[in-house]
Amino acid sequence: MRTSQLFTKTSKTAPADEVAKNAQLLMRAGYVHKEMAGVYAYLPLGLRVVEKIKQIVREEMNSVRSNELIMTGLQRKEVWEKTGRWDDETVDIWFKTKLKDDTELGLGWSHEEPIVEMMKQHIRSYKDLPASVYQFQTKLRNELRAKSGIMRGREFVMKDMYSFHASAEDLDAYYNEVIEAYKRVYDRIGVGSDTYVTFASGGAFTQFSHEFQTICDAGEDIIYLHRGKNIAINEEVIDDAIKELGVNRDELEQVKTAEVGNIFNFGTHKTDEMGMYYADTDGEQKSLYIGSYGIGITRVMGVVVEKFSDEKGIVWPEAIAPYRVYLVAIGEKGKLAADVLYDELCAQGVEVLYDDRDERPGIKFADSELLGIPYRITVSDRLVEAKQYEYTVRKSGETVQLTRDELLARLG
């Protein structure tokens, strides 16, 4: 894309009312627009990052044979009353609204109950099991405070997945398969080496659930880490987990983290509450086992910005950068050569943001760094004469001059 066709503008200063680094940088770079605290619109470059994260998650959820669907934001009171979670005393983050006839409706903060209710119409026999479904849904949560930018929104995008099984063993096997899929997600996004499968508080069915916690100063969680044994424990269950796992507290390192995913084993608790059963081989009605698996898509994006940024701006990992190359044209001959290179790279499928504006080089370089595009290519009159391209790596700042062939080889 040519920047002359992109309507968003960058800004040198952060908005005064925004305290979170992730939102400050994303707003300055024109990735997001703040509608109100905790509620952000995703402008063209921001939407590209969201879609890239979603696509990685989609591929990995498909790899564990899950079916993508999309539930509704408007939800029925009766569905949530079955589990006692309609009450604002029990769930204190509901946004609610009303139909014309005063029927109360909920706005989806979670889709656990509606998904189970929907699946009752399709899953009736052992032949229908196992089954797994997921969605990318905009969740609304009425948070009292929202000061963490896109890391904790009142409106945010979440991937939530639910699996249905005939036995506890089958759920366990799938649960472990999802853990591996989640690891691949975080590896691909670029935070894998700092993300830990963490013991956290369980529910009615299991002692522990598992969170995926990424080391991040702006995170809201504290975990205890044994890097050697690759053990991580949320402080909320530290005493129980130490006993269970046989580790010593003084071997553990305390770190600040952000929760980027969580998985729960519900056992048969929720299906029993909601009256969902299946007919076994002998025709007997039996309870279903459910697992629930979440990834906060926009939260992960926020965590990446918190972790990978410097005084100049964002430093996107290549897999989720909105564009791979930022092309800067300087001077008349530079412009002509950049036009040609832009067409060539686009034809080869390289995603290029081409700064074709009539601006000073310093402004273009600063925008390139603020936006955090992984590679910058500069084409100036002087370089054209030397038949060279300047190639700069955002992460390391390394700058080299390359011939056309060398450049294409690097981007190949």
CB 263 within 8 A of CB 292: yes
Q: Please state the closest distance from residue 25 (CB atom) to its own copies, in A.
A: 16
Please report how the helices 297-307 and 44-63 are oriented relative to each other, as an axis angle in degrees rounded to 10.
Answer: 110
- Residue 302 CA to residue 166 CA, distance in Å, equals 37
Using DSSP, state whether 329 is helix, strand or coil.
strand
- Give min distance, CB of 106 to its own copies, in A: 10
Q: How far is the CB of 70 from its own copies (least distance, A)?
A: 5
Nearer to its own copies, 35 or 280 (CB): 35
3 state DSSP class of 82: coil
Q: Which is nearer to its own copies, 126 or 410 (CB)?
A: 126
- Shortest distance, position 299 Cβ to its own copies, whole Å: 16
Is the CB of 96 or the CB of 382 nearer to its own copies? 96
- Map residue 172 onto helix, strand or coil: helix
d(CA 303, CA 217): 9
User: Using an 8 Å Cβ cutoff, are 199 and 210 in contact?
Assistant: yes
* Residue 66 CB, nearest approach to its own copies (Å): 9
- Distance in Å, CB of 300 to its own copies, minimum: 17
Looking at residue 41, what DSSP letter applies?
E
CB closer to its own copies, 41 vs 400:
41
DSSP per residue, 217-280 = TT-SEEEEEETTTTEEEEGGGHHHHHHHHT--GGGPEEEEEEEEEEEEEEETHHHHHHT-EEE-
- Is 249 in contact with 238 (CB distance < 8 Å)? yes
Residues 380, 364 contacting (CB under 8 angstroms): no
The distance of closest approach from Cβ of residue 120 to its own copies in the complex, given in angstroms and rounded to an integer, is 10
Q: Cβ closer to its own copies: 34 or 183?
A: 34
At closest approach, how far in Å is the CB of 69 from its own copies?
A: 5
CA–CA gap between residue 210 and residue 232 (Å, rounded): 10
The per-residue b/e assignment along 116-135, b for 16 or more CB within 10 angstroms, e otherwise, is: bbbbbeebeebeebbbbbbb
C-beta closer to its own copies: residue 219 or 302: 302
In angstroms, give the least distance from the CB of 387 to its own copies. 33
Structure tokens at 42: 């995703």
Task: Tell me the pairing of strands 352-355 and 325-330.
Answer: parallel
Q: Which is nearer to its own copies, 133 or 252 (CB)?
A: 133
DSSP 8-state symbol, 193: G
Peptide bond into 130 cis (omega under 30): yes
Smaller CB separation from its own copies, 20 or 383: 20
Q: Which residues bind to its own copies, rule: CB under 8 A?
A: 5-9, 30, 33, 35-36, 39-44, 46-47, 50, 65, 67-76, 95-100, 105, 107, 114, 118-119, 121-123, 128, 131, 133, 138, 140, 142, 144, 154-155
Residue 155: which of 26, 42, 293 has the closest Cα?
A: 42
Q: Is the Cβ of residue 40 or residue 266 nearer to its own copies in the bound state?
A: 40
Task: Give residue 68's Cα distance to chain centre.
Answer: 16
> CB-wise, 75 or 198, nearer to its own copies?
75
Task: Give 288's DSSP letter.
Answer: P
